[in-house]
Amino acid sequence: MGNQLASVILSGVRRTYASSGGDVHAVNDVDLEVADGEFIVLMGTSGSGKTTLLNLIGGLDRASAGRLEVLGEDLAGLSEARLARLRMISIGFVFQELNLLPELTLQENVALPLEGSGVTRAEARRRADEALVRVGLSGLGPRFPDEVSGGQQQRAAIARAVVGERRLMLADEPTGALDSATGAQVMKTLRDLCDSGVTAIVSTHNPANAEYADRVVRMQDGRIVEITAGSSFTSGQSA
């Protein structure tokens, strides 16, 4: 299954909402191909369509028109159950709000997506610890979310997004609730994961975050208006 070269292929994708003032095209005729292991930063002002586009790619919302191919699957052809399974097994989400479950430890939070995927509890914990190491939180698994900093909570959410076999991460303003130094650490963590093979599409309205991207996709009024190479494009590595 899947295409080795492209994780995500969008063509003519549109999401239309009916409103009293007429139809609103939250996402309007978007074409985009994202390579395996690529780090895309989605830039655009509030209301430009970033969240809607991420929700379409992640199968949380259905397109009004166009074609979305994600990890080799044509999303329009999937039942809700198959879509839910694709999300659980292969796609991780990170949001602006620090949304770990407060009554679970970091390790338990990160292991959560593996439950119901057939691995034993011990194996799930082992993979959770592995994911925590990948985001620089080695040893913090037993802590509860309120016992670590906001940046560490967000990195744990990133670990949850990439735990096990998951290799597509969709992050919606993951640095929006963080100060700039902590936000930079989170972007660096995302960059390092992409260098190890994860594909990431990350929305932000902070222009400083372009530095970490392979490509910066700028949206306006639901359309892609510009695609430029990010600073990481030539080296493929961050310093």
Q: Which parts of this chain interact with ligand ADP (CB under 6 A)? A: 17, 24, 26, 44, 46-52
Length of the chain (residues): 239
CA dist 21 and 40 (Å) reads 33
Q: C-beta of 235: minimal distance to ligand ADP in Å?
A: 29
Q: Interface with Mg ion includes 28 (CB under 5 A)?
A: no
Q: C-beta of 156: minimal distance to ligand ADP in Å?
A: 24
Which residue in 16, 10, 5 sits closest to 42, CA to CA?
10
- Name the phi and psi angles at 233, rounded to 5: -65, -50
Q: C-beta of 209: minimal distance to ligand ADP in Å?
A: 14
Closer residue to ligand ADP (CB): 9 or 27: 27
Cα distances from 99 to residues 40, 73, 95, 118, 136, in angstroms, run 23, 28, 7, 24, 19
Closer residue to ligand ADP (CB): 17 or 237: 17
Q: C-beta of 207: minimal distance to ligand ADP in Å?
A: 15
Q: Interface with Mg ion includes 48 (CB under 5 A)?
A: no
Q: Interface with Mg ion includes 51 (CB under 5 A)?
A: yes
CA dist 208 and 13 (Å) reads 28
Could you tell which of Mg ion, ligand ADP, none binds residue 48, using a CB distance below 5 to 8 A set by kind?
ligand ADP
Q: Interface with Mg ion includes 52 (CB under 5 A)?
A: no
Closer residue to ligand ADP (CB): 21 or 139: 21
Could you tell which of ligand ADP, Mg ion, none binds residue 26, using a CB distance below 5 to 8 A set by kind?
ligand ADP
Q: C-beta of 3: minimal distance to ligand ADP in Å?
A: 26
Closer residue to ligand ADP (CB): 52 or 175: 52
The residues that touch Mg ion, with contacts defined as CB under 5 A, are: 50-51
